[in-house]
Chains A and B, each alone.
Chain A
Amino acid sequence: MDPKFIQGVLYLVFIIFLTFILYGYIIHLYRSEKKGEKDYEKYGKLALDDELTSKPVEGIEEENKKESK
């Protein structure tokens, strides 16, 4: 078979695969937000509320406590 043809087919398969990954990631982001597993938009506050005395959006200490329970 013409190697150029194989190259072309592989290229197409690769593009479709990457498109699938890209859309998969978008769906993953929106779905996990819809299911209530994640709230990505709250991380926007990380830049705004950034005093040393501010309460962390997700504190390391709180997370550790949750895990130990």
Chain B
Amino acid sequence: MQNPAIEYDYTVAKWFSYLAILFGIIGMGVGVWIAFELAFPELNYVAGEYTLFSRLRPLHTNAVAFGFTLSGIFATWYYVGQRVLKVSMAESKFLMAVGKLHFWLYFITILLAVVTLLTRYTTSKEYAQLEWPIDILVVIWWVLWGISIFGLIGIRREKTLYISLWYYIATFLGVAMLYLFNNMEVPTYFVAGMGDIMHSVSMYAGTNDAMVQWWYGHNAVAFVFTVPIIAMIYYYLPKESGQPVYSYKLSLLSFWGLMFVYLWAGGHHLIYSTVPDWMQTMGSVFSVILILPSWGSALNMLLTMKGEWGQLKENPLIKFMVLASTFYMLSTLEGPIQSIKSVNALAHFTDWIPGHVHDGTLGWVGFMIIAAIMHMAPRFYKREIYSKKLLEMQFWLQTTGIVLYFSSMWIAGITQGMMWRAVDQYGNLAYSFIDTVTVLHPYYTLRGIGGLFYFIGLFMWAYNFYKTMTAAKQIEKEPAFATPMAG
């Protein structure tokens, strides 16, 4: 048997957890700011060009998706990977070095992303704004992550790969494929011999560019906001509750269903655009089918709690995770509804869309990462969670924030869509654009307040994590299931 002196090594997992907190605060701070900019436009001009909505919006999306979420994904990988394979990173100097290099290159990349986006370097492709030198850096550390995944699998003691690992592997392969194809670009300086060395143009043009872009864009949602988060919940919810996953077979079926269906759904971003009609229909149809594997995973999680619902009352981490899977169900029902052509005619370009995105990202992605990191913290530092009360307060404050966010955006979006299409008896548009802006003002303010609640919750999380690390009561041995917390 293995040497009992060896322990799991959480160094890299800890580092990525710090970054998740840091980039969560930066990314969502910018998000709250730009939410208020939409309600109070004068905020655009607080710091010259640097606070313009157009400059800050890509910063927000990149920082939350590729700063906060990816950090959470990597932190949990470097924790879950070791545990379900029953092998420590301390057993391989090579894999430890790869993990640390992965961390530092990633950190530098995201800092460069923040600086370049603020200084107006952008490809102007949504969620793929980073310019070509940064793209190359991304590829390098993505490959390092792959080496870490397959390297750890190579030295494992446990033969079978737990379902979470299937999802981490799918994340690795999916993003690699999407990222490479969508970021095919020509650095113009090397062709023209003039201009800015950072500038590039896409290798695709017109409608083709749009199709590749939304094949990427939607699957970025799949492979950054969905697949790795499912990887997390399949580990952390059973572990925290002490209940094995309700049906392992259902988890396998949902996995293959999700993998097959998701890749075809991106066309729903281009309904009523210049892409072929059959492709739009295919996007709609596959989006609707996507409900099945999504709900398969979510129900599997809720059923894992069967007979143990008392834990929901007692344990705030269970609250975070159960609400996360509930929000996952909500947004995977809402998305398909929005992708139906007739609904899309109303919903497209309205605030209902960011409403949908945020009940997924704040409720599902954010809550799952928060819960995962707070589950790990006592195992990192051999201390109990500093304050259960604070965690409870954070949960309720952030839940209220999400509800304010999506309910205001539902009302705003549908109002907006109805006003845009309203015509008088002669067929003239009933409202001008500014009429909609005036009507929407209170909802924009409410959305900003909702975001602010969530943002304040992040500081509660950061404080609780910091105090857990430094001042909470020490525990003698790693807890098997429920995370110990001080009142």
Contacts and interface: CB of A to CB of B under 8 A. Distances in A.
B65 to A, nearest CB: 27
B160 A48 contact: no
A58 interface: yes
B86 A52 contact: yes
A60 B162 contact: no
A20 interface: no
Given A58-B159, A60-B158, A63-B159, A48 B252 contact: no
Contacts of A68: none
A47 B238 CA distance: 7
A29 B278 contact: no
Contact of A57 (B2, B158, B278, B481): B158
Given A29-B253, A47-B244, A53 B2 contact: yes
A60 B254 CA distance: 27
Contacts of A58: 158-160
Interface in A36-54: 40-48, 50-54
Contacts of A30: 249
A48 B83 CA distance: 10
Interface string B412-448: 0000000000000000000000000000000000000
B6 A52 contact: yes
Give the interface residue-count category, chain A.
20 to 34
A60 B6 contact: no
B306 interface: no
B163 A43 contact: yes
B278 A7 contact: yes
A41 B160 contact: no
Contacts of B163: 43
B253 A26 contact: yes
Nearest to A29: B249
Interface in A12-37: 18, 22, 25-26, 29-30, 33
Given A25-B256, A50-B86, A52-B88, A43 B156 contact: no
A43 B248 contact: yes
A57 B245 CA distance: 15
B157 A46 contact: no
A40 B248 contact: yes
A26 to B, nearest CB: 6
Contacts of A63: 159
Contacts of A48: 238-239, 242, 244, 481
B4 interface: yes
Interface in B138-195: 156-160, 162-164
Given A57-B160, A58-B159, A59-B159, A50 B247 contact: no
Q: Is the interface of A mostly helix, strand, loop or mixed?
A: helix
A25 B252 CA distance: 10
B198 interface: no
B7 interface: yes
A60 B159 contact: yes
A43 to B, nearest CB: 5
Interface string B98-117: 00000000000000000000
Contact of A46 (B84, B247, B278, B478): B84
B249 A41 contact: yes
Contacts of A2: none
B405 interface: no
Contacts of A59: 157-159
B248 A50 contact: no
A56 to B, nearest CB: 4
B234 interface: yes
A30 B253 CA distance: 11
A56 B248 contact: no
Nearest to A55: B1
Contact of B162 (A41, A43, A54): A43
A22 B259 CA distance: 13
A53 B477 CA distance: 14
B410 interface: no
Contacts of A43: 160, 162-163, 248
Given A43-B162, A53-B1, 7 more contacts: A25-B256, A26-B253, A40-B248, A43-B163, A44-B245, A44-B248, A56-B159
11 contacts: A18-B260, A29-B249, A40-B252, A41-B249, A44-B245, A46-B84, A48-B239, A48-B242, A52-B7, A52-B86, A60-B156
